[in-house]
């Protein structure tokens, strides 16, 4: 089993999500619960996955005023998820409040700061008033998050090498992964599994190339075979 693969359980209800997790048991340890599934299945889905022995990445992408984000972190910090996301764009005070809230529970999740979504390119950034490149924006947000005490980032494969150079020991979680020939869908800044790992990713997040495959276990195995060719980071 390659511990660097996180499968995104982007499903509209718990049964298909749990069915996929069960189908991939032995191939994959990590599953990501994002907004689509969490908003319908709630904390129970995190408990279900944990009771089956899986590790959970709770991708809630929290982004609100500091007091509200701190409260949200406290609400989910004791669930047993090992990773939890907040948006770096929430700013230093929000990030510090999130770190402080997580520190208040035993065994809190590691907080990851989402930098620039992998579905955003230069044009999408310009439309929300950001006139520099995605890479500059990612590095700027990463610096803000690390100053607030965050030790991991979510970014695209295009920035992972620059992030790894600047943050050798951080957790770098990379979505927007597409095996050669897979459908790109709404993602813009994408890479293959091997390219993202070679550039310094700690974890790859993969959704539709597995969840929409006619044979998800075979699709997972093919991705794992490609990942195996890139040795794990030693940092
Ligand atoms: O289906 P696909 O492989 O594109 O899924 C990628 C997953 O990673 C989705 O659940 C999406 O919400 C998440 N994600 C992302 N870009 C980020 C952070 C999370 O695509 N920056």
For ligand 1, the distance from its centroid to the CA atom of residue 9, given in whole angstroms, is: 10
Q: Tokens 């943050």 sit at which residue?
A: 167
Nearest to 19 by CA among 43, 47, 39, 48: 48
| pLDDT over 90 (residue 115) | yes
188 given a catalytic annotation: no
* Residue 234 domain flag: no
Q: Is residue 174 in some structural domain? A: yes
Residue 155 located in a structural domain? yes
> pLDDT tier at 220 (50, 70, 90 boundaries)?
very high
Give 25-84 pLDDT, tens digit per residue: 999 999 999 999 999 999 999 999 999 999 999 999 999 999 999 999 999 999 999 999
pTM, two decimals, is 0.94
* Ordered DSSP codes for 116-167: S-TT--HHHHHHTT--S-HHHHHHHHHHHHHHTT--EEE--HHHHHHHHHH-
Residue 235 lies inside a defined structural domain of this protein: no
* 109 Cα to the center of ligand 1, angstroms: 19
- Give yes or no for residue 235 having a pLDDT over 60: no
Query: What are the C-alpha distances in Å from 199 to residues 122, 156, 165?
Result: 21, 11, 10
> What is the mean predicted confidence (pLDDT) over 125-149?
96
Kindly name the residue from 25, 32, 61, 188 that is annotated as catalytic. 61
Q: Is the pLDDT of residue 196 over 90?
A: yes
* pLDDT score at 186: 81
CATH of the domain at 98: 3.20.20.70
pLDDT at 154 over 60: yes
User: Binning pLDDT at 50, 70 and 90, where does residue 234 land?
Assistant: low
Which of 176, 185, 206 has most ligand 1 atoms within 8 Å of its beta carbon, as the pocket-test mutant?
176
Q: How many domains does the chain have?
A: 1
Percentage of the chain beyond pLDDT 70 is 99
Which residues, in sequence order, are bridge partners of residue 59?
34
Domain with 47, as residue range(s), is 5-227
């Amino acid at each position: 089993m390659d511990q660097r693969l996180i499968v995104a359980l982007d499903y509209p209800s718990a049964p298909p999500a749990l069915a996929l997790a069960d189908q991939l048991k032995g191939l994959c340890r990590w599953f990501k619960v994002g907004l689509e599934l969490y908003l319908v299945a709630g904390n129970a889905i995190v408990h279900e996955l944990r009771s089956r022995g899986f590790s959970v990445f709770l991708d809630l992408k929290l982004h609100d005023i500091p007091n509200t984000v701190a409260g949200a972190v406290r609400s989910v910090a004791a669930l047993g998820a090992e990773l939890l996301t907040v948006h770096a764009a929430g700013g230093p005070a929000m990030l510090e409040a999130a770190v402080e809230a997580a520190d208040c529970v035993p065994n809190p999740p590691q907080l990851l700061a989402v930098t620039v979504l992998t579905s955003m390119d230069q044009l999408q950034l310009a439309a929300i008033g950001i006139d520099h490149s995605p890479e500059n924006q990612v590095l700027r947000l990463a610096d803000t998050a690390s100053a607030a005490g965050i030790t991991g980032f979510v970014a695209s494969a295009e920035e992972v090498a620059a992030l790894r150079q600047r943050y050798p020991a951080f957790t770098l979680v990379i979505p927007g992964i597409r095996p050669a020939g897979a459908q790109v869908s709404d993602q813009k800044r994408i890479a293959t599994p091997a390219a993202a790992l070679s550039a310094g990713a700690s974890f790859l997040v993969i959704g539709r190339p597995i969840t929409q495959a006619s044979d998800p276990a075979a699709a997972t195995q093919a991705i794992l075979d490609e990942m195996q060719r890139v040795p794990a980071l030693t940092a």
